[in-house]
Chain A
Amino acid sequence: MSGMDEAWSVTRLARTIKRRVEDEFPAVWVKGELVGVKRYPSGHWYFGLRDAEAKVDCTMWKFAAARLKGPLEEGTEVFVLGTPNVWEERTSLRFNVTQVLPASGVGAQAQAVEQIKQRLLVDGLLDPARKRPLPPYATRIAVVTSIAGAAVRDIITVAARRWPGVELLVVNSAVQGDGAPQELVDALAIVSRLERIDCCIIGRGGGSKEDLAAFNDEALCRAIASCPVPVISAVGHEVDVTLADLVADVRAATPSQAAEFALPDRMAVQRLLSELGSRLFGMTLATVGEQQLRLERTRDRMTAALTTRLRTVERRLLNVHGRLAPALTRHVTRPREKLLRLEATLAPAMRRQVTRRQADTARLAAQLDALSPVAVLGRGFAVPLGDDQRVLRTTADFTVGRHFNLRVADGTVEARVEESP
Chain B
Amino acid sequence: MTDAPTLGSDLKRLEEIVRRLEEQDLDLEAALALFEEGVARLREAQKKLGETEARVLQVVQESSGELRTAPLDG
Contacts and interface: CB of A to CB of B under 8 A. Distances in A.
Interface residues of B, number: 39
B54 A193 contact: no
Nearest to A280: B38
The 3 A-B pairs at the shortest CB distance, nearest first, are namely A165-B51, A137-B8, A283-B21
A266 B49 contact: yes
Contacts of B18: 276, 279-280, 283
Interface string B37-50: 01100100110111
B47 to A, nearest CB: 10
A139 interface: yes
Contacts, number: 110
Interface of A: 135-137, 139, 142, 147, 152-153, 156, 159-160, 163-172, 186, 190, 193-194, 266, 269-270, 272-273, 276-277, 279-280, 283-284, 287-288, 291
A277 B7 CA distance: 15
A291 B58 contact: no
A287 B11 contact: no
Given A156-B54, A165-B54, A171 B46 contact: no
Contact of A273 (B45, B51, B67): B45
Contacts of A283: 18, 21-22, 31
B48 to A, nearest CB: 6
Nearest to B42: A277
A270 B49 contact: yes
Contacts of B45: 273
B42 A170 contact: no
14 contacts: A137-B11, A142-B59, A147-B72, A159-B54, A165-B52, A167-B57, A168-B54, A170-B57, A172-B60, A190-B59, A276-B18, A277-B42, A280-B14, A283-B21
Given A136-B8, A137-B6, A273 B31 contact: no
Given A139-B6, A194-B67, A276-B42, A170 B32 contact: no
Interface in B7-45: 7-8, 11, 14-15, 17-18, 21-22, 26, 28, 31-32, 34-35, 38-39, 42, 45
Q: Is the contact region of chain B dominated by helix, strand, or loop, or is it mixed?
A: helix
Contact of B7 (A139, A142, A169, A279): A139
A291 B28 contact: yes
Contact of A287 (B7, B14, B21, B42): B21
B46 to A, nearest CB: 6
Contact of B8 (A135, A163, A167, A266): A135
Contacts of B61: 186, 190
A320 B69 CA distance: 90
A135 B56 CA distance: 20
A170 B8 contact: no
Given A170-B72, A284-B21, A284-B31, A190 B51 contact: no
B45 to A, nearest CB: 6
A169 B38 CA distance: 32
Given A135-B8, A276-B15, 10 more contacts: A137-B6, A147-B58, A165-B53, A168-B54, A169-B57, A170-B59, A193-B67, A272-B11, A273-B46, A288-B35
A170 B51 contact: no
A135 B6 CA distance: 11
A188 to B, nearest CB: 12
B59 A273 contact: no
Contacts of A276: 11, 14-15, 18, 42
